[in-house]
Amino acid sequence: MHDTGATDAQDMAARIAAHPWATTPLGPRADWPQALKTLVETILVVPFPQILAWGPELTCVYNDAYRPLLGRKREALGRPFLDVWAEAADVVAPALDQVWQGHSTAASDFPFVLLRNGEPEEAFFDFSFSPVRDETGAVAGVLNVAVETTRRVASDRDRRESDMRLGAVLEQMPLGVALAALPSGALLYHNPKAVDLLGHPMLAAADTAGYACYGALHDDGTAYGPEEYPMARAVLGGETVDREIMRYRRGDGRETWFEVSAGRVHDSNGDPVLAVSTFHDIAARRAAEAALLDRGHRLRESERRLRSLIEGIPQLVWRAVDAGNWTWASPQWTEATGLDEADSHGHGWLQAVHPDDRETALAAWRSAGEAGHGFTLEARIGPPDGRAWRWYRTRATPVLDEAGGIVEWLGTCTDIDDLRRMQDQQGVMVAELQHRTRNLLAIVQSIATQTVGLSDSLESFESHFADRLAALSRVQGLLSAGDPETVTIGALVRLELDALAADLDGDRIACGGPEVPLRKRAVQTLSLALHELATNARKHGALSGPAGRLDVHWRIRDDDGEHRVVLDWTESGAPLPAATATSRHRGYGRRLIERALPYSLGARTEFVLDDRGLRCRIDLPLTLKDNREVAG
Amino acid sequence: MTARPLRSLDGRRILVVEDEFLIADDLCNGLAARGAVVVGPAPTVGAALELVARTTRLDGAVLDINLGGEPVFPVAEALLKRRVPFLFTTGYDAFHIPPRFATAERYMKPVKPAVLAAALFG
């Protein structure tokens, strides 16, 4: 018989019918025992692979289904089983021995290489060896039945492989994975990452109530109820939880934050088979987010403070690039100059600088641009209409990057106008003071010289000089108290009369007149003259004895087209002055009145000393100074 | 009690311009004591200019820079034209003097007649 190709589906019934059984130990088919015939009929109709090995030689008869198992083997019909399966003799022989003793054996998932679809393929079979008996009841042969389990074996293997792959994935995943059974929620598995994240191994939980042992916490620090866990919600309600934030107290007591997802897993029929929960630790992310938020807050806070500072400080603040191209100006700048912020960009700010100071500013920018360091300059700044220039001190500083390159310029302008004015005024005042002092010294020198000339003894000199110095000193007090033009005639008169009247009755002296300010340069000379009059009145005149009186009155005279103030000094009721000894010092006063007052003050004076008493008239011009009328 | 004066200004005619009487008086006395003939004193620019115009012969002048707020420079100008030597007196440190008079000498008050004499006439 030739080897059959595996592809053609042989009709074994036909081949058995056609086989020359007489050449085999079975002998002609017609002479077969009934049991054998029946068995052959049976195996031909049962679709499972079967081979019958009859007789001591184990002669083979097989069915169509068995054919593929034989692969490329030589035609097995009529040949001894152990011959056909010589390569499996080790495995088969013991089984056959068992069968001859009347026992069935079976094996499962035995691998075969079949030639099924023209290609060798691996296949698996469960098979059995069973004794078959003849009419006498003795074991006459072996029935070998094979049931193919290839599909199951393959799918088992696939599933095993898939489980292994899945297992490897789970083991190595950087995500914590937990699996729970459905419908109970019993915990099945935590991967290593989960254990690591939780800080404890999988806890025993036969159902969702067992989740209570886990450490999830609400914001207020209270523990999750077991049904609140995402896994429980997936188990019990089929919920799909997507990335919830969960606060968790780990096994080591440390608190952290997880992002948790959970849901059911379904098979290909759509039935839920498992619940799975995945999670990862977001503590670091939360900390980073919090830090970022905090930094954002602090940055905004810092910006707010900076803005408040810039808006609150009186300085004008600006930013510029290159050599004086402004990019920004603060609100104070606009307030001080009337220039819009945008109009000040580039070199627009120059409009708000006094024309005479613009070149100074540009020159400062040029040299700063070359040298790369800041500068300070003083210039007048104000609205371009030029009606309100004020002096400002401007400071510009370069802002450097890490490499030392200039990124931009930052500048402030400080209003120093008041300071400058005060400094100018101070300068004027200091000069004035020096002048006044030198003047005073010159006058003292003059008085000294004059008094020396009039004195016939040192005692006389000392007393007269001291007296005149005292008068001069008194009037300095009036002069130094503020604006000199506020010294009035009345103030001077009262000053001298007060010095006099300390030891006299109040009703012997009368004075009065309108408030008339005196020109600064008139004050000293007039006071000296009044002092001499007063001294003379006390020593020789109306106040030297008990009976005299003194009247000092002044009024404004407005006639003959002239505007003047007239002061009358009238001493009366005194011992006749003409008869008393006059000292040369009395002449000093007269001289002051008759010569100094006209010379220095443009006064017209009359000095009359007769037996009625002393009458002195001082007639001063009134002129305008700073829109006020002043005398002298 | 008066010192015996040097008569170094004998016959010299000197204009005194000073608005403060006591100082003017003192200066005049001091100059007269040294033999000078005092022209003035004048307290204002106007009065001084009038004296300058009226006086044929003037040998020198003492000018108070600040006459009650009025600078004395018009008088200096007039004297310059007549080639009359003069000097300034002042109580101020830094009174601004026009450049054309920058060479004239300036003395701080109070000023001694002897010093003036030396300054004007060597």
Tell me if B60 sits within 8 A of B88, measured CB to CB. no
Domain check: are A326 and A234 in the same one?
no
Tell me if A409 sits within 8 A of A433, measured CB to CB. no
> How sure is the predictor about A481, in pLDDT bands with cuts at 50, 70 and 90?
low
Chain A nearest-CA distance from B66, in A, is 10
- Residue ranges covered by each domain of chain B: 13-121
Residue with tokens 């403070």: A305
Model-level pTM?
Answer: 0.53
Query: Which of A453, A528, A600 is opposite residue B43, by nearest beta carbon?
Result: A600
Domain check: are A459 and A603 in the same one?
yes
Distance CA A527, CA A470 (A): 11
> How sure is the predictor about A217, in pLDDT bands with cuts at 50, 70 and 90?
very high
Residue A579 pLDDT exceeds 70: no
| Interface contact flag, A446 B93, Cβ < 8 Å | no
Domain check: are A617 and A513 in the same one?
yes
Q: Is residue A430 part of a domain?
A: no
Give the model's pLDDT for residue A584.
64
Give the model's pLDDT for residue B4.
47
Residue A352 pLDDT exceeds 90: yes
Domain check: are A494 and A589 in the same one?
yes
Average of per-residue pLDDT across A99-116: 86
For chain B, what's the residue count?
Answer: 122
Task: State pLDDT tens for residues A378-406.
Answer: 999 999 998 899 999 999 999 988 888 88
Q: What percent of chain A has pLDDT over 70?
A: 94
- Nearest partner of A523 among A439, A429, A585, judged by Cα: A439
Domain check: are A276 and A330 in the same one?
no
| Interface contact flag, B26 A449, Cβ < 8 Å | yes
ipTM over 0.90: no
Distance CA A241, CA A422 (A): 77
Average of per-residue pLDDT across A297-321: 90
Range of A181's domain?
173-281
Give the model's pLDDT for residue A485.
63
Tell me if A142 sits within 8 A of A129, measured CB to CB. yes
Task: State pLDDT tens for residues A403-438.
Answer: 888 889 999 999 999 999 999 888 888 887 888 888
Distance CA A28, CA A438 (A): 171
Domain check: are A264 and A347 in the same one?
no
Q: Is residue A223 part of a domain?
A: yes
Give phi and psi for A105, each to the nearest 5.
-125, 160
Residue B5 pLDDT exceeds 50: no
Residue A376 pLDDT exceeds 70: yes
Give the CATH number of domain B13-121; options: 3.40.50.261, 3.40.50.150, 2.60.40.10, 3.40.50.2300. 3.40.50.2300
| Interface contact flag, A436 B91, Cβ < 8 Å | yes
Q: Is residue A338 part of a domain?
A: yes
Give the model's pLDDT for residue B122.
62
Three-class DSSP category at A370? helix
Give the model's pLDDT for residue A576.
57
Q: Is residue A103 part of a domain?
A: yes
Average of per-residue pLDDT across A197-226: 94
CATH number of the domain residue A39 falls in: 3.30.450.20
Chain B nearest-CA distance from A600, in A, is 6
Residue A625 pLDDT exceeds 90: no
Question: Which of the listed residues A356, A383, A415 is the one where a domain comes to its end?
Answer: A415
Average of per-residue pLDDT across A119-147: 90
With 0-12 / 13-18 / 19 or more C-beta atoms within 10 angstroms meaning exposed / middle / buried, residue A209 is middle
**CA A309 distance to own-chain centroid:** 16
Inter-residue long-range contacts of A15-22, CB under 8 Å, 24+ positions, other chains counted: A15/A77, A16/A40, A16/A44, A16/A61, A16/A77, A19/A77, A19/A78, A20/A78, A21/A78
> How sure is the predictor about B119, in pLDDT bands with cuts at 50, 70 and 90?
confident
Average of per-residue pLDDT across A108-135: 85
Residue A499 pLDDT exceeds 50: yes
Task: State pLDDT tens for residues A229-270.
Answer: 999 999 999 999 999 999 999 999 999 999 999 999 999 999
Chain B nearest-CA distance from A605, in A, is 15
Crossing angle of helices A520-539 and B21-33, rounded to 10°: 80
The number of folded domains in chain A is 4
The full 3-state SS of A560-607, as one line of letters, equals CCCCEEEEEEEEECCCCCCCCCCCHHHHHHHHHHHHHHHHHHCCEEEE
| Chain A touched by B59 (CB under 8 Å) | no
- Nearest partner of A576 among A618, A617, A545, judged by Cα: A545
